[in-house]
Structure 1
C-alpha cells in the first residue's frame, strides 16, 4: 500500500478525541486503504485486535446492518468495557439515518468513531446538520504526484512519471495495471459510470442522463476556462439540446457534491472581496478526463493548472481565482498564515509569455509569496521577489 502520511497524521492527531472523524472523498480515492493503514498503526502500537470494530457497508456480509438499530446493537455488543474501542464504519451512506446510530455510539466514552462515505448526501452541507459540532472532516483526494511516484519504478524519470500521472490516472488502483491503457480506461469509465449513476442520477433523481453527460463533457473539456451557467446552457443548446440555466446549475452542484469536479470562485485581491461570477472548474483526476474525452484538446498548460489546483487543496489551502484590476492571477491560496499567489504556465521561456505571467503578480502590493510554476527544466529564478520554479519540483516538495 502507498503511504498516505499526511492523511494518516490527521487521524493520529485526532485519535481518542471526543469527535467523530469523518473521511470524505470521491469513490476509490483510497479511503478504505487509509483506514487499513490506521488499523495497522493501532495494532502495532498497543491496541488489541478485539478493540477494533470494522464494518464495510459495501460488503454483503454486513447488509443487514444497514438498519441503524441493528448497526448500533451490533457495535455495542462488540465493544470491550473499560477499554477504548475503535469503530470504523466504511461507506456509511448505505445506512439510512446513520447519524442516529453514530450519535448513540458517540456519547459512549470508550468509543472512538471513524466514518467514511462517497455519496453526495453524505458529503454535502447536510453533514454539518446531521453531526453538528461533533465531527472533524478529512477531505481525501486521489494520489498526489508525490504519492504516485512512490508507486512507480525508480528507473522511470520524473517527467515520464508525470506523463503517466496525467494520462493514466491518480486513482490508486490504476497502478496495478502497469500502464496497460486499455485496462486503465475500462476501469476509469466503470468508475465514472458508478459515480454518475449512484452518486448523481439516483441522488438527484435525474431523468435525462445524456443531458447530464453533455454538461460533464463540456466542463471536462473546459478545465481552467472561465465558465458561467448561461455559457454552458447556450453551448449545449447550440448543439441541438434544450436545457435551462436552472438545470445546468443543478447538474453542476451535483457534480461538485459528488467530488467529480471542483469549483474555484473568484477573489478581488485589492478589494479583498469574494466574487460570484466567472468561476472556473477543475476535474478530480486528469486520467478520468482522458478516458472520457480522449486526447483531443491536449492543453498542457490547463492540465498543469488542474494538477496544481488539486495539490493546493491537498495542502490545506482555500483556493480562489485572483483578480487584480483587469488582470487575473491563476490561484490565490489562503490559510491561517496568510496568502500565496501562483501563476501556472507550461513554459515561460518566451519573453512575452514571461512578461504576461509576471504582470499580474507585480500589481499585487502585499508581501505574501508569489510564484510562477512551469514545466521548464530551468534553475529557480527570482524576479524582484517573484520566484519561478519547476512545477514538478514543487509538486515533489523539493522547493521550500
Structure 2
C-alpha cells in the first residue's frame, strides 16, 4: 500500500524520537493516525534501527483482540522485543486495551521504551493517564486532510487534472478530508457512503458504547442537529426546545452531556465567543464545528443554505491545524467569524460565499474595521476576482488562503 507523507505532522513527531516522553496522537477516527505511525516506523528504520526492536500494533484489528488487556499486552511485548537496549513501541487506538494507562506508565518506568500511542477520544489525556504520566507526554492533534494535503492525495491516487484549482476545491468542499475517501476512485455517491460509515462507526464505538448512552435515537438526533447547524450559534436549551417541537422530550442537561461526548470523540468542537472590547469569553450561544466538513454533506447533502457554515468549518479547521486558538469575535453588536491567536500572532477573519452585493461587503468589512489594532484582517470568499486591500483588510479566495505558506 502506498503511504503518502504528511510532512507537517512527521516534522513534529520526529523532533521527539528517542525523547523520554510518550508521543500521543489524537483525533477523529480515520483521520490518518495509523498511517502516521506507519510513516514513523519507516523513519525509525531509515535511522538504522533494527525492525526486531520495533512493535506496531493496531487495536482496531481483531488480529490483536487477545492482547486487549494491560497484562496480556505486556507479556506480548516482553516476548516480542529484545530484553536489553532501546525498543520502540507504537500502539494504535490504545483506549481499546483495558487498564492501558498502567501499561504506559510501566513502559515509561523501564526507561528504554520509545513510546507512541494513538486514540480517538480526548479522554485519552484525562483522568488516570494524566495522573500516571503527568509532564511526560506530548500531544499531537491529527486532522483529516487539509486542502493542500488533499491535492497531494489526488495527485498520488488519481488521474485528475489538478490545474483546475477551483474544481478541486469544489470537490474538497463536498467530500471533506478523510484520507481513505481520496485513495480510491470513488464517485460522489460511494464517497458519501464511506463517510457515513466512518460517522456511524465513530458514534457507536467512540461515543455510544464508551459513554453507555441508552437512548441512541435521541443521541443521534442531537448529533444531527449540531451538524446541521454547523457555524450557527445555538445553546443546549435551544436543542431541547427543538426536540420538544418534534414531540421528543430531552433535558438541556442531557443535551450538554451528549454534546460533550461528541466533542470528546472529535466529531464536533465547541468554539466560544470572545468580547473584543471587554477582553473576556462569553458564555452564551457558542458555535460548533465538525471534525471533518465532509460529514455535513454526507448526512444532509449539499445545499446553498449550509454553504456558509461549511466554508467557515473549513477555515476554522485550517486555523486549528496551524496551531491557532480560535474564538468567535464579538465587537459591539457585530461579529467577527474568527479570532485566531498563536503566541504573539493574532488574525481576524470573515468568511462568506461572496461579497458581491454592497450590503454584504459593508457587513463583512464593517466588523473588521471596528477593530482598532493592526493585526492581519481577512475577508475570505469564493469570489473569482479577489486580491484587494481596503484599509488593511485583505480580500482573498478561500482556496488561496488555505494553500498559503503563511497567514
Query: Alignment RMSD, CA only?
Result: 1.8
Counterpart for residue 294 of structure 2 = 287
Shift of 1:18: 1.0
Contact 1:24-1:123 at 8 Å conserved across structures: no
Shift of 1:178: 1.6
Counterpart for residue 52 of structure 2 = 50
Deviations 1:7-37 (A, max 9, x none): 1111011111111100001111100000111
**Pair 1:118 & 2:125 matched:** no
Deviations 1:89-133 (A, max 9, x none): 111111111011111111223211000111454265665345322
Counterpart for residue 299 of structure 1 = 306
Counterpart for residue 6 of structure 2 = 4
Shift of 1:346: 1.1
Q: Distance in 2 between matches of 1:136 and 1:15?
A: 11
Where 1:225 maps in the other structure, the secondary structure is coil
Deviations 1:64-84 (A, max 9, x none): 221212222322343335543
TM-score (norm 2): 0.93
Unmatched 5+ residue regions in structure 1? none
Unmatched 5+ residue regions in structure 2? none
- Bigger drift between 380-389 and 86-95 goes to 380-389
Counterpart for residue 271 of structure 1 = 278
Shift of 1:55: 1.3
Match of residue 187, structure 1, among 194, 197, 209: 194
Counterpart for residue 149 of structure 2 = 147
Contact 1:318-1:333 at 8 Å conserved across structures: yes
Contact 2:90-2:115 at 8 Å conserved across structures: yes
Where 1:378 maps in the other structure, the secondary structure is coil
Distance verdict in 2 for CA 1:312–1:70, change over 3 Å: same
**Pair 1:339 & 2:341 matched:** no
Q: Distance in 2 between matches of 1:342 and 1:42?
A: 40
Match of residue 216, structure 2, among 179, 185, 209: 209
Match of residue 317, structure 1, among 301, 314, 324: 324
Distance verdict in 2 for CA 1:316–1:127, change over 3 Å: farther
Shift of 1:318: 0.7
Match of residue 18, structure 1, among 14, 17, 20: 20
**Pair 1:251 & 2:262 matched:** no
**Pair 1:34 & 2:36 matched:** yes
Q: Distance in 1 between matches of 2:295 and 2:167?
A: 19
Contact 2:26-2:122 at 8 Å conserved across structures: no
Counterpart for residue 248 of structure 2 = 241
Contact 1:267-1:273 at 8 Å conserved across structures: yes
